[in-house]
């Protein structure tokens, strides 16, 4: 097949966004520039707000895009109400035109999983079930898809870290940070909503700060931003930066000692992988893809959801065990370079593309 014929259509939210699916594919597009025989055609969808005709517009956009020479398509849904049906109809369009496609589930809501169990299995099989392959972020999600009757290959993958983000970072830089632990800096970088566990983390830090010199850096934006500002007002060792990107984000990873994300539910968040790429030990919760991905003692620690006490225990352990900190830091840095960058994922996905195109 000629180079110009190998167009792979990718559905995603606006490329200008700096998180989620857009971040995932922006990083991959950069890494795939090394592959001369693979050309992508991004199709931006969503972002319609409360426009009732938005979903119809997305279907029309796909219909128009398929008039060009598409050899393969990738749909990037989350298992939540709106995305499930919109992207399911994308899958039906592709199947009706005999265009091979694969599906990469990024988000996964357990409550909506129960709804699929109850009444949407048939829709799943008649839409996403036509995919050549399905990618997920947890073995639990793989098992559920097979339970629903999917007969193709389900692959458990990871999200990825943009190579440009960590290109100039060396473990020598991390080693220097580890030498200076006053204050001991804890980084939280995620959407500022209750479900990310940020309130429990604040409570843990308040407890630890009575006996340790620590600082909590809360980076991000979200619905609970104002509430969090009020909660930490007067706390000299807790600062909220708001949304961070580029060099500001890189510098936060560089200066911090550990990364903590005590989410109530997750797939496999990019921020955890980014933290590992900068050699940060990770403390997170025993949920979603994280409980299978995080190697305890090697990458960091898993704690129970909504437990500030468990956070206190693991954070204080790392504060008081500098050798363990250094051991985990080195392991995470090397593991991320060898497995989690967008370059490494591009290599793996290119093999799947070769099979399907």
Q: How do residues 246-255 score in pLDDT, each as one tens digit?
A: 899 999 999 9
Are the beta carbons of 301 and 283 closer than 8 angstroms? yes
Least confident of 98-107, 172-181, 182-191: 172-181
Mean pLDDT computed over 278-298: 94
The per-residue pLDDT for 271 is 92
Is residue 292 scored above 50 in pLDDT?
Answer: yes
Helix ranges (DSSP H) in the chain: 20-31, 54-65, 81-96, 110-115, 121-126, 139-147, 163-166, 171-179, 198-208, 225-232, 246-255, 270-277, 290-293, 308-319, 322-339, 342-356
Render pLDDT for 240-274 as a digit per residue (tens, 0 to 9).
999 998 899 999 999 999 999 999 988 888 899 99
pLDDT for the residue 15: 81
Instruction: Please state, in angstroms and rounded to a whole number, the distance separating the CA atoms of residues 338 and 273.
Output: 12
pLDDT score of 1 more than 50: no
Q: What is the mean pLDDT of the chain?
A: 92
Range among 20-34, 152-166, 178-192, 290-304 with highest mean pLDDT value: 290-304
What whole-number distance in Å separates Cα of residue 138 and Cα of residue 292?
Answer: 7
Q: Cβ(141)–Cβ(104) under 8 Å? A: no
Residue-level pLDDT at 98: 95
Q: Say which range, 92-101, 207-216, 333-342, has the weakest mean pLDDT.
A: 333-342
Per-residue confidence band for 18, with pLDDT thresholds at 50, 70 and 90: low
The widest CA-to-CA distance across the chain, in whole angstroms, is: 66
Residue 2 has pLDDT above 50, yes or no: no
Mean pLDDT for 168-182 is: 82
Counting every residue, how long is the chain? Answer: 357
Cα 54 to Cα 35: distance, rounded to the nearest angstrom: 34
Q: Is it the case that residue 204 has pLDDT exceeding 90?
A: yes
Of the chain, the percentage scoring pLDDT greater than 70 comes to 98
- What's the pLDDT at 281? 97
The predicted pLDDT at position 260 comes to: 98
Average pLDDT over residues 299-309: 97
Residues linked to residue 303 through DSSP beta bridges, in sequence order? 285
**Mean local confidence (pLDDT), 70-96:** 95
Give the pLDDT band of residue 220 (cuts 50, 70, 90): very high
8 Å CB contact between 108 and 268: no
- As a whole number, mean pLDDT of residues 172-201 equals 91
- For residue 228, give both structure tokens: 């969090």
Is a pLDDT exceeding 50 seen at residue 3? no
pLDDT of residue 14: 83
The residues near 59 (Cβ < 8 Å, ≥ 6 apart) are 86, 89, 90, 93
Can you list the domains of the chain with their CATH numbers?
3-160+341-356 (3.40.50.2000), 164-339 (3.40.50.2000)
Query: Which residues contact residue 24 at a Cβ distance below 8 angstroms, ignoring those fewer than 6 apart?
Result: 76, 106, 159, 160, 270
């Amino acid at each position: 097949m000629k180079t110009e014929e190998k167009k792979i259509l990718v559905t995603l939210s606006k490329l200008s966004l700096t998180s989620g699916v857009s971040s995932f594919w922006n990083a991959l597009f950069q890494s795939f520039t090394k592959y001369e025989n693979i050309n992508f055609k991004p199709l931006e969808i969503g972002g319609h707000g409360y426009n009732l005709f938005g979903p119809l517009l997305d279907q029309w956009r796909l219909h128009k895009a398929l008039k060009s020479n598409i050899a393969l398509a990738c749909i990037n849904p989350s298992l939540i109400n709106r995305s499930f049906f919109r992207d399911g109809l994308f899958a039906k369009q592709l199947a009706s035109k005999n265009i091979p496609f694969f599906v990469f589930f990024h988000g996964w809501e357990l409550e909506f999983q129960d709804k699929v169990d109850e009444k949407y299995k048939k829709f799943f099989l008649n839409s996403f079930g036509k995919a050549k392959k399905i990618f997920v972020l947890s073995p639990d999600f793989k098992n559920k898809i097979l339970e629903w009757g999917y007969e193709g290959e389900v692959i458990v993958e990871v999200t990825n870290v943009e190579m440009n983000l960590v290109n100039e970072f060396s473990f020598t830089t991390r080693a220097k940070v580890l030498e200076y632990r006053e204050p001991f800096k804890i980084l939280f970088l995620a959407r500022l909503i209750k479900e990310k566990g940020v309130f429990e983390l604040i409570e843990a830090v308040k407890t630890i700060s009575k006996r340790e010199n620590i600082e909590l850096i809360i980076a991000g934006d979200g619905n609970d931003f104002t509430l969090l500002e009020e909660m930490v007002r007067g706390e000299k060792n807790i600062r909220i930066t708001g949304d961070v990107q580029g060099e500001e984000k890189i510098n936060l990873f560089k200066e911090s000692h550990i990364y903590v994300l005590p989410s109530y539910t997750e797939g496999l968040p990019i921020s955890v992988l980014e933290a590992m790429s900068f050699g940060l030990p990770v403390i997170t919760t025993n949920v979603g893809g994280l409980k299978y991905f995080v190697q305890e003692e090697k990458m960091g620690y898993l704690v129970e959801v909504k437990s500030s006490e468990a956070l206190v225990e693991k954070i204080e352990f790392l504060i008081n065990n500098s050798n363990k900190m250094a051991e985990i830091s080195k392991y995470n840095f090397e593991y991320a370079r060898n497995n989690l960058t967008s370059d490494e994922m591009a290599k793996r996905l290119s093999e799947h593309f070769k099979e399907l195109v």
